[in-house]
Structure formats: C-alpha cells, structure tokens
Structure 1
Amino acid sequence: MEKRRLGRTGLDVTVISFGALPIQRHTMEDAGPVLNAALDAGINFIDTARAYSDSEEKIGQHISSRRSEYYLATKSMSRDKSSMAKDIETSLTNMRTDYIDIYQIHNIKERKDFEAVMAPGGALEALKEAQAAGKIGHIGVTGHSLPLLIEAVKTNEFSTVQVPFNFIETGALDELFPLAESLDVGRIVMKPLGGGQVRSIDLALRFLLEHNITVAIPGMDKVEHIAQNIAPAKKFHPLTIEEKNILKDEAQQIGPNFCRRCGYCMPCAAEIDIPQMFIFHLQYAFYGLKEAIPKRYAAMKAKASACIDCGVCETRCPYDLPIRDRLKQVAQDLG
C-alpha cells in the first residue's frame, strides 16, 4: 500500500490507516482479531483517543507486543496543563508503551477551547514538556471548526491537523489543506466514510486519494472492513466521470448535515442509541429499506420516542446537529 510522509513528523504512514473509535463497541476479547488483522494487512498508523472509552486499553492488550510495526496517535480533551499531563501518563499506561508518536489536542470546537489550550498553564505546555522528556514525538490538533483549525495551524505549534474530509465535506480544500501543506503540517482525515453512512466505499476512498491528504483513518470494527478499505490504495485508479456522478448523487441524498456516528452525544440519559436512530432513519427514508428497518427499530430497547428533551446530547455534538428535533422525526416515522 502507498505510504505518504506525514508532514514535518517525517513519518511515512500508510495512506489508509486505522481509526480506532469503533473498537470501543467491542468486548476486550473481540477487539484483538481486528487490531491484529490491521497490522497483518500492512497498516502502520493507528489513531485513538482518551475519549474512546477503552480503545486505548484494547490497543495495549492486543498489539503492544507489535509496537515496532505501527505509529501510534492518541488525543485528549484536556485543556489545562495538569489534566493533559495526567492524560499523557494514562495513555502511556493504557497502551503499554513508553512512547506515543503523535499526541493531539482533541476537538477544538470553540474559541474558549483554543485559548485555554494555548494560554500559560494550558494543555500545550504539558505536551511540550512530554515531548522534551521523550514521551511523545509530535504534537497535533483535531477539530471540526475550520476557522479554528486554520488559526491553530498558523501558530506553527502543531505538526499534524486532523479534520473531517470526504466527498460531502470538502471545506478543508479551500484554505486549511493548502495552508497545512505550505507549513509542512501532516493532514489526517477523519470521517472519510461519513462515520459509516457512505455506501460507495471504494469511490469515496478513491476520491480522497485524488487529493493531497496524508492519511485517512476510517473507523474499523470488523476484519472484513480492513481489506475493503485498503483495496483502493493498493490498486488506485482515478474516478471516472460516471463514478463522480454516483458520488454527487449520494452526497445529495445524505445532505451536508448528517450524523457521523462519532458517538460524542452519548451516553443518553434515556439510554437511546442516538447514532443508530439516525442510521435507521437514513436507511428507511432515503435508501428505501421500508420493511427491514421498522423490524430492526422495533427490537431496540430504547426508541427515539423515549427522548426526555434534556438537550445534553446537543451540547456535546461537534456538528451542532438539532438532535432532539431529529429524534422526534425518527419517532414520527418509525414509532
């Protein structure tokens, strides 16, 4: 598989690599085959986060013995120095390693987050100290707000930037990616398959490979996902006009304001699996699964109608989706 240089880090990473968010849904035992299959397939870059429940622990449990085979990235939501320092130590312990290649500031969503991180006594100070101590190699930043990420990259403090980018969300092409390239900052693409909502996987990944990204990290929680996701990078060929039109039609069906299944809205006080509700509704309303989806929905323990309208989920959503209104629509259509 093709490898690309991850900006000023100098790391040569497989262009399709492993997003570890979904393995938090696995048991500890079941995560092992997926992680090992990724390494067996030649993937050499794994991205996780402190916020992905026990994802770090699963990495440590199952592939720490193969640490020389992959570069490791994680991230923390901590904004102050003390909390970030603790998270770095926790990550090292969880993943059973003494060195993390890239430690990222996770989800810069609002200006107050950015200012807290960059201020004296902020998270960046802890990352620099850990870097000087040899505990981490490089410092990165992630988020969904393009203006804030552009501002962060301009500080020249970060060696990588991680942002959503796919055939529906192309805003990073306008300024962020050209800026990052000019400053030799690695471009890590999250949500390359729209959080699992994209149907045309081969076409969607080939779309990414046509652009000047460094690495895409689709989430994988099944062994079969690995071969499917790396195939476009092993035998790449550009999209045809017909294939571009297929993606255009799919983008119009899904729309720009869709749930990416990141799970940040969870847990729900009413125990609703919010991302799954939206997947069901997309499959029912747009993909025509009028018989199968109502049956699957009926089997759910907590349905959309159980929403208590607390709004906590909306404060967590990095895309500011109107989750409560959408749950009401799901309840109206599916019960």
Structure 2
Amino acid sequence: MHYRQYGRTGRLISRFSLGLMRCLDSAAQLEAVLDAAWRLGINHFETAQSYGPSEAYLAQALHSLQLPRDQVIITTKILPDRDPQQMVEAVLRSRDRLGIDSIDCLALHGLNQPEHLQQAIAALPALQTLQAEGVFQHLGFSSHGDRELILEAIATDAFDFVSLHYYLLFQRHAPVIEAAAAKNLGIFIISPVDKGGLLHQPSAQLIEDCQPFSPLALNYRFLLSDRRITTLSFGAAKAEELAVLQDFVDADQPLSLEEAEAIARLEQVRQQRLGRDYCQQCYACLPCPEAINIPEVLRLRNLAIAHDMQAYGRYRYRMFENAGHWFPGQRGSRCTDCGDCLPRCPHHLPIADLVRDADQRLAGAPRRRLWGD
C-alpha cells in the first residue's frame, strides 16, 4: 500500500481508507473487515455518529485486534448544529464511544447548505478550544453540496482536510480539488465505486467503452494518478470485498498514454451518442423556479443514454425528493414549461423535454437510505 501526506495534518495516510458505514450488523463484522483492511495496509478508518453503532464497534475492534494506536488514523464525523455547545458535546461523545484519548481527524459531516457552513463557522471558537485541549487533532469537513459552497468553506482556511465527490464520470469539482490542494488540505474522495457509477456492476456498454480497461480500473487510475488527491474511500461489508483493491494498492503512477486515450474516448463517445441533446454541465440553467436540479438530472440522462448506465441513473435519480439536503432537487416531472432556463443555456438545449425524458427513463420507487438526516 502506498501512502501520502494528508495535507497540512502531516499524517501519512493510506491511498485507500476504510469507510465503516456498511459495517453495522455486529462488532464481529466490523472487526473482520478492519483486520483485513489493516493487513492490506490501510491505516485510516472513517466513521460517523450517524453510522449507528459504528463508533462503538470500532472501539471494540481496535481493542480486540490490538492495533498500534500511533499507526492508526481515525476520522469520525459530527453533524453541524445551530447550538455550538451541542457540537462540543457531540465531539466528546464520539471520543468516549471510540475509547481513545484524542480523535485524529474530526470532520463536520455534511456542510451541504449555506446554513451548515454558517453553523460551522459559529462553532469554530468552541471547537478550537477542544482542539487545543487535545480532544481532537485536525478539523475538516465533508460536503455533498454545490461547488461554490465547498469553495467558500475552503476559503475560510479553518479546515485541514475535505471529503467530497469527484470521479471520472463527475468532474464538476475539479476546481475544488485545485483550491484544496493550493491550501494544502488533505483530499478524501467519497465512495468512488458506488457514487462514482456503480462500477462494481457496470453495464455491458460501459465495459466496452472503457476497453482495454475495466470501468473500475479506469476510475481508480484517474483518481490515484492525481497527486493532489490523498485517499479514496472504500466501504466494505465483508472482509473478502477488500480483495478488489489488491491490484490498486500501489497503482498511483501517472496515467499511461493508453489510459489517457481511453479516458478522452469516453467523453467523445458521449458527445457522439447524445448529439445535440448532450448536456455539457455548465450549470447556466440554474436556478430553476421549480427547484429541479437540471444539471444532475441531465448528467444521469447523459450516462444512461451514452453508456447504458440505467441502473446507476435510477439509483441516483430516485434520491431526488427523498434525501433532503444530501441530494437536493426536484424530479424532472415537476417541470412546468416556464421556459426560464432556455435563454440561459449556451447550447440551446430543449431542457423541458430532456428533463421529462430523464424522468420517464429513470423514475422509480424510492429506497430506504442507509442512515437518516
């Protein structure tokens, strides 16, 4: 396993991190996964108060496995709150549940809306007092919010690391990667396989489009080859699921010419197959009076048509109106043909027709999320 410095934390962190949101069945389950990850070379374990009993299970596993505390990096996440004292108490509860003297990395979980960032800023003096007392060592944040909000959070200079979405098939946050690297922040990529396109079960079309590489390998290489990115999340429910990482633990060399050509070819394929209906993700269409997340709706449509990623499109699309600020926006069926977006689109797309078409292709029954708001 290769390691990189986690930005200005100064900690050397494995190129893959174990996310524990899927290890919720039992302490024994988490221990088995943790043991397999440690043997693979993973030294960073990420949990959250929102992940049910995960913190307590992690404490039991660390004690049972007797992993050297000075070689393990633990991140846990707390939700922002209007009351800074509530956040202070949340940090203390996490520390106690984890059974450690000091949390290595504390992340504010889900700075997804402007009010969340405002709450974080208001709580900074209290959190910094805890940090000075050694309750935690480094402060960061995760975000499922828009690019401008994440850039605003980075610009505060209050954080040491950031967790965000950025993948081969979603490069909207490229400027965020650049800004975070310029501030020497550790950069943690959230769920690159699942949120990155359900790449553990790709469509036959996507497999063909990525040849001679697998979609999973091409996405991993795209991310691992970027020296600005510190670590990639991997969520395993079973120890054997970690075996897929064996081929990538040291695969962080620069992209080969063949890999770069395969990545460029994906964009060309999308343009060719979608033609005049190809949404180039400029976001000029927003805001929508009906709060439809037009760019994301059309991104999912792009992928469904170009690479037959219907399963991924349905998985993400049905989160609209069901996941709150974690995945904001109304479905395309809410379009009223107001025409507000049309003059703003530089490519003159028939947006109303496209968002309704996406809804017809991708709408489905909602599923229960793994954890609540």
TM (norm. structure 2) is: 0.66
Q: Look up the equivalent residue of 2:186 and give its one-letter code.
A: G
Alpha-carbon distance change, 189 to 323 in structure 1, aligned in 2, over 3 angstroms: farther
Q: Is the 8 A contact 2:110 2:326 kept in 1?
A: no
Contact 1:103 1:139 (8 Å CA) reproduced = yes
Quote the Cα distance in structure 2 between the aligned partners of 1:314 and 1:215.
26
Alpha carbons of structure 1 residues 320 and 40: separation in structure 2 relative to 1, 3 Å: farther
Structure 2 stretches lacking a partner, 5+ long: 201-214, 280-303, 312-317, 334-358, 367-373
Distance in 1 between the 2:80 and 2:49 partners? 10
Whole-angstrom CA distance in 2 between matches of 1:217 and 1:223: 15
Three-state SS of the structure 2 residue aligned to 1:233 is coil
State the SS of the aligned residue for 2:80: coil
Number of the residue aligned with 1:233: 249
User: For residues 326 and 314 of structure 1, do their structure 2 counterparts lie closer, same or farther at Cα, with a shift above 3 Å needed?
Assistant: farther
Count of matched residue positions in the alignment of Structure 1 and Structure 2? 280
**Residue in 1 that maps onto 2:36:** 37
Q: Distance in 2 between matches of 1:215 and 1:165?
A: 12
Instruction: State which of 215, 229, 244 in structure 1 corresponds to 2:263.
Output: 244
Q: Deviation of residue 91 (structure 1)?
A: 0.9
Partner of 1:182: 182
One-letter amino acid matched to 2:30: A
Aligned to 1:270: none
- Residues 29, 238 of structure 2: 8 Å contact kept: no
One of 49, 66, 76 as aligned partner of 2:78: 76
Residue 278 of structure 1 is matched in structure 2 by none
Structure 2 match to 1:14: 14
Question: Residue 245 and residue 11 in structure 1: after superposition, are their counterparts in 2 closer, same or farther (change >3 A)?
Answer: same
| Alpha-carbon contact 1:165-1:191 (below 8 Å) kept | no
Secondary structure of 1:4's counterpart equals: strand
Equivalents in 2 of 1:4, 1:181: separation in Å?
13
2:173 aligns to what SS in structure 1?
helix
> Would the aligned equivalents of 2:321 and 2:329 in 1 still touch at CA under 8 Å?
no
288 and 160 in structure 1: CA distance in 2 versus 1, 3 angstrom threshold:
closer
Partner Cα separation in structure 2 for residue 213 and residue 319 of structure 1: 26
Give, in whole Å, the separation in 1 of the partners of 2:112 and 2:364. Answer: 27
Aligned counterpart, 2:106: 103
Contact 1:314 1:322 in 2 (8 A): no
Q: Give how far 1:245 is off.
A: 6.3
Q: Per-residue CA shift, 1:8-43, capped at 9, x if unaligned?
A: 10001111121112212x323222201111112110
Task: Tell me the distance in 2 between the aligned counterparts of 1:22 and 1:251.
Answer: 33
The Cα of 1:249 is off from its aligned counterpart by 9.2
Q: Is structure 2 residue 200 aligned with structure 1 residue 191?
A: no
CA contact (8 A) 2:143 2:150 kept: yes
Q: TM-score, normalised by structure 1?
A: 0.73
Question: Could you say which residue in structure 2 is the equivalent of 1:204?
Answer: 219
Residue type of the alignment partner of 1:141: F
Q: Distance in 2 between matches of 1:323 and 1:54?
A: 37
1:94 aligns with 2:97: yes
Instruction: Decide whether the 8 Å contact of 1:44 with 1:69 is kept in 2.
Output: yes
8 A contact 2:78–2:109 mirrored in 1: yes
Q: Contact 2:16–2:42 (CA<8 Å) still a contact in 1?
A: yes
Contact residue 189 and residue 216 of structure 1 kept, 8 A: yes
SS in 2 for 1:330: coil
Report what 2:57 is aligned to.
58
Match of 2:326 among 313, 317, 323: 317
How far does the alpha carbon of each residue in 1:204-255 deviate from its partner, in whole angstroms, 9 at most, with x for none?
A: 21110122201111212221222312521324553524643686599899x9
Give 5+ residue unaligned stretches, structure 1.
Answer: 257-281, 290-306
Matched position secondary structure for 2:364: helix
The whole-number CA distance in structure 1 between the counterparts of 2:2 and 2:86 is 37
Contact 2:142 2:163 (8 Å CA) reproduced: yes
Cα distance change of structure 1 residues 207 and 46 upon mapping to structure 2, 3 Å threshold: same
| Secondary structure of residue in 1 paired with 2:189 | strand
Paired with 1:51 and 1:251, the residues of 2 have a C-alpha distance of 37
User: In the aligned structure 2, how far is the partner of 1:53 from the partner of 1:85?
Assistant: 19
In the alignment, the residues of structure 1 paired with residue 35 and residue 327 of structure 2 have an alpha-carbon distance, to the nearest angstrom, of 31
Alignment partners' CA distance in 1, 2:36 and 2:268: 33
Alpha-carbon contact 1:107-1:142 (below 8 Å) kept? yes
Q: Tell me the distance in 2 between the aligned counterparts of 1:154 and 1:288.
A: 37
| Native 8 Å contact 1:140 1:160 kept in 2 | yes
* Distance of aligned partners of 1:110 and 1:156 in 2 relative to their CA distance in 1, 3 Å threshold: same
Identity value in percent: 24
Choose from 200, 220, 231 the match for 2:236: 220
